Structure 1
Amino acid sequence: MWNGVLCGLLAGAMWGMVFIVPELLSAFSPVEMAVGRYVAYGAIALGLMLPRLGSLYARLDRADYAALVRHALSGNIVYYMLLALGVKLAGVAPTSLIIGVLPISVTLMGRKDHGALPLRQLALPLLVAAAGIACINVDVFLHAGSAGHPVWQTLLGVLCAAGALLCWSWYTLDNARYLKRNPHFSSAEWSALYGLSSGLIALLIGLAALAVWHGDVLGAAGQASGRDWLVFWITNTLLALGASVIGNHLWNIASRRVPVTLSGQLILFETLFALLYGFIYKQQWPRPLETAAIVLLAAGVMWSVRVHALEDEVTPP
């Protein structure tokens, strides 16, 4: 189990980068950022799996295609669009901490899965995490005006972050269940197929956007607004390699090695790393309520890991 926990931590360190990219590429829309990231992801995945593409294709059935499409949309493209919009409207810290609700939502939704612990054993860790979530939501609206954003904009950003939360909660459960039921693909193979399907869908969305908004996407107005396409593609390629290729592969390993209720807790590593990167990028210390949220969320996930570890020790193989 501990190897799964380590893989979950490293995946969180990779995924935390996605909250900074909307700040780095603020001149681009969430749709453009999602298309850029996942087209790059698809290209990398294609290069990695090209020698085995024929054999992998032969092993795919209708259920695999359906899973890849729904996971590409919920876990990648739609999720990232909503996340990027949330960061633009509400900021890095609020968006990452709202998505930090994932441990609670995933644990509640996966409470009937095989290997899941009874909720009574996780009640106290979840309450600690919930207290951290409450702290960040209070902090968001206390400082909405001082940040120069109207309250309605902050509220819209919070709603986008909540939408991203719902997308990822459902994806996390469906992906973990599917991998456990279908061991005919390794974690690396499934991650590559997942990347290829995401890239194909993102490419179709990008072509449609180019046809409809050609002037806004590539025109002189875009260049005047500081849209550096070289930086755009370098940033998205690095993000695709780190967060998508490496991060997703590590997460697939973790998903196979830990119970669903624990995998939900491990997603908090993404939140903690996103906060760390965000504070470093802005060169500022967290505010008191943000600090309280970080401590409470970290304590909640560590407590939950400990509960699962104790249960694993007493459960016969």
Structure 2
Amino acid sequence: MLIGILAGLTTGALWGLAFVSPRAVAPFSAWDLTLARYVLFGLTSAVLMILPRFRPVMSRRQLVLGFLLGGFGNVGYFLSAAYAVQFAGAVLPLLIIGTSPVVLSLIANLREKAVSWRALLLPFALVLGGILTAHAGMPEPAQSTLGDRTWLGVLAALSAVGIWVVYGLGNSQILRAPDAPDVLGWTGLQGLGAAAGALILIPLLGLPNPEVASDADMQRFTAWVLVTSFLGCWFATLCWMVASNRLPMVLTALLIVAETGFGLLYGLIFEQRLPTTPEAIGIAMQLSGVILAILSFTRRPAAIETIAIGEIAPR
């Protein structure tokens, strides 16, 4: 269980890079960075498959599902989140999307019944309260900027939540099946799907011309592409698979709350400032919620053992 918890926290730490990387690559856009890192994610997966250990040896159904989950879960989620911010500003969509781990945990516990609802009540309250508090000080864009398209942003944000839930549940179900694929091959297969799905981003590219982007800009962009593709995509996805394989989904989803905390930390480092009071309190509440969730499971070894024997394929 400890390995699964560490893997889940590592996933959150690496996915948190997405909070700061688009700002760090200017004058390149988030679209440019996303296309580059997903394509490199796929290329990395393809190259690693030269080694038998990394090849996706599985049924045709699993091959198709893994490929589709890779494109749907990565590119579909990114597009929904990006358009949510574009149409509704930064605050409201991030608040909606920030509830994704809690929503996934709720649905997962309805299916798995891994822990009592009473034990989850306080962790859920702390995580949701922390999300609201951490974003309380963020400035809301002027209504004139948003116009009458805010409802489109809300729909896009809800779509992002839906995509994340479907991806998490589908991925977990496959990894806990008796014929569960190996996590290395499963990760690589999703990398191929993400690269294929990223091709739809080509019309949205806004690569700056050489007069705007200096050599230093290009070097910085290349460095961030390498970091976000190898660590933020391939290794983070592998860690997510390990966590999904070893832990009940209700706990795995809550561990991804760490993504928000690490994302804020990276942002503070990038902006070279200390957190505001709402940010500090919000992150402390989220961290407390995650710790309480972990304790609620470690105090119930019998329930975990039942899930591990009945639903998780042996490794």
TM-score bucket (shorter structure): 0.7 to 0.9
Residues 133 and 278 in structure 2, CA contact (< 8 A), matched pair in contact too:
yes
Give the structure with the larger helix fraction. 1
Residues 67 and 189 in structure 2, CA contact (< 8 A), matched pair in contact too:
no
Residues 42 and 198 in structure 1, CA contact (< 8 A), matched pair in contact too:
yes
Deviations 1:218-262 (A, max 9, x none): 5xx644443855543432122110011111111111111111110
TM-score, with length taken from structure 2: 0.81
Partners of 2:166 and 2:69 in 1: CA distance: 9
Query: Which residue number corresponds to residue 171 of structure 2?
Result: 175
Structure 2 residue identity aligned to 1:285: L
C-alpha displacement of 1:162: 5.1
The one of 222, 234, 239 aligned to 1:250: 239
1:279 matched to 2:273? The reply is: no
Shift in CA distance, 28/269, structure 1 to aligned 2, threshold 3 Å: same
Partners of 2:143 and 2:268 in 1: CA distance: 19
1:35 matched to 2:29? The reply is: no
Q: Secondary structure at the match of 2:300?
A: helix
Shift in CA distance, 183/11, structure 1 to aligned 2, threshold 3 Å: farther
Structure 2 segments unaligned to the other structure (5+ residues) = 307-315
Partners of 2:124 and 2:28 in 1: CA distance: 37
Partners of 1:26 and 1:149 in 2: CA distance: 26
Query: Which residue number corresponds to residue 132 of structure 1?
Result: 130
Percentage of identical aligned residues:
27
Shift in CA distance, 20/161, structure 1 to aligned 2, threshold 3 Å: farther
C-alpha displacement of 1:274: 0.8
Structure 2 residue identity aligned to 1:36: A
Greater displacement, 123-132 / 19-28: 19-28
Q: Secondary structure at the match of 1:285?
A: coil
Query: Which residue number corresponds to residue 117 of structure 2?
Result: 119
TM-score, with length taken from structure 1: 0.81
Query: Which residue number corresponds to residue 25 of structure 2?
Result: 25
Q: CA RMSD in A?
A: 3.2
- What are the residue-to-residue correspondences of 1:292-307 with 2, within 5 Å? 292-307=281-296
Q: How many residue pairs get matched? A: 301
Greater displacement, 67-76 / 250-259: 67-76
Residues 45 and 192 in structure 1, CA contact (< 8 A), matched pair in contact too:
yes
Deviations 1:95-121 (A, max 9, x none): 766544233111112123335223232
C-alpha displacement of 1:127: 1.2
Partners of 2:35 and 2:94 in 1: CA distance: 21
Shift in CA distance, 304/131, structure 1 to aligned 2, threshold 3 Å: same
Deviations 1:183-242 (A, max 9, x none): 44211111111112212332x325x52xxx7xx745xx6444438555434321221100
C-alpha displacement of 1:138: 3.3
Partners of 1:65 and 1:269 in 2: CA distance: 30
Structure 2 residue identity aligned to 1:173: L
C-alpha displacement of 1:275: 0.9
Partners of 1:174 and 1:308 in 2: CA distance: 22
Partners of 1:76 and 1:275 in 2: CA distance: 21
Query: Which residue number corresponds to residue 103 of structure 1?
Result: 101
1:152 matched to 2:146? The reply is: yes
Shift in CA distance, 303/50, structure 1 to aligned 2, threshold 3 Å: same
